[in-house]
Structure 1
Amino acid sequence: MKYSELKQSLKNHKLRITDCRMDVLAYFKEMQRALSFKDLEDKFQEYDRVTLYRTLHSFEENGLLHKIPGDSGSAVYGLCNDCDVESHHHNHMHFKCTSCGTTECIDVPVEIPALSLPKNYKMTDMDVIVNGVCNTCNSN
């Protein structure tokens, strides 16, 4: 993705343009899969942990990323496709490869079954994670 497109994406999500934000956004676009904090920490050793945490938090708060629950309380983050500051929604499935551990957003339309919750329960989010073997691992 071009530098000008990255800048515009940050502006569209009402975020200041910083080197860290530009680098992290470019990395998410390049990898095209969900990334963990550890992935970012390993890639961007020039930025301290607090800066990376704040970057992830601001991206999530402003509709650039969404959090995907992981194993044992950890999380990975995926790029949002059509979210913005006012409207942040994720009605799609995620796929976690049991072989290589990568998590991907499944953005093709897949019907997610409606849930009937007990009375007095109100759903705010639903995380659907399908486990299996990804296309890359399946080819090997």
Structure 2
Amino acid sequence: MAHTHNSEQHFEHLLKKHNLKRTEPRLRVLSMLSQKNVATSQPDLESVIGNVDRVTLYRILSAFEEKGIIHKVFDLNGTANYALCSSDCDEHDHRDEHLHFNCTNCNNVYCLDDHDFPQITLPPGFKLESFNFTATGLCPKCS
């Protein structure tokens, strides 16, 4: 039970840090996303989160993405999936630049944070705001 209480305190702190009001639906979304080892779509969240309507869930996800609490990554079908960001992210500096792995069998999207990327050098006049690396193949469960 202590783990749940500590998690809830962590989520409350996260909401406060990003100037978001503490609500039960927001806490449930954070709890569900933290329990997953894959990025999760809005329909999947709807099916497990309980009595939160689609519009409220959309607004929660949008606010969390805008504040740098979660990031969005698309699966092979073009469906948006959401995963928690690292603790360094905020609304002004979103750091979700890591490898995303799409499994071609189960369609799960994994965030693989521990991979180095080559330096990106752009031509003069270009300003990099974000980038996305996606790999496809079979996840350990499917291979």
TM-score (norm 1): 0.86
Cα distance in 2 for residues equivalent to 1:31 and 1:60:
17
Cα distance in 2 for residues equivalent to 1:132 and 1:39:
22
The percent of aligned pairs where both chains have the same amino acid is 37
Mapping 1:64-79, distance limit 5 Å:
64-79=69-84
TM-score (norm 2): 0.85
Structure 2: stretches of 5+ with no match in the other structure: none
Structure 1: stretches of 5+ with no match in the other structure: none
Q: Out of 55-64 and 112-121, give the one that drifted further.
A: 112-121
SS at match of 1:71: coil
Q: Out of 111-120 and 2-11, give the one that drifted further.
A: 111-120
- Give the Å deviation of 1:120: 4.5
Q: Which residue of 1 aligns with 2:51?
A: 46
Residues 1:130 and 2:135 aligned together: yes
- Give the Å deviation of 1:72: 4.8
Residue identity matched to 1:136: K
Whether the 8 Å CA contact 2:75–2:108 is kept in 1: the answer is no
Q: Which residue of 2 aligns with 1:86?
A: 92
Cα distance in 2 for residues equivalent to 1:26 and 1:95:
23
Cα distance in 1 for residues equivalent to 2:83 and 2:67:
13
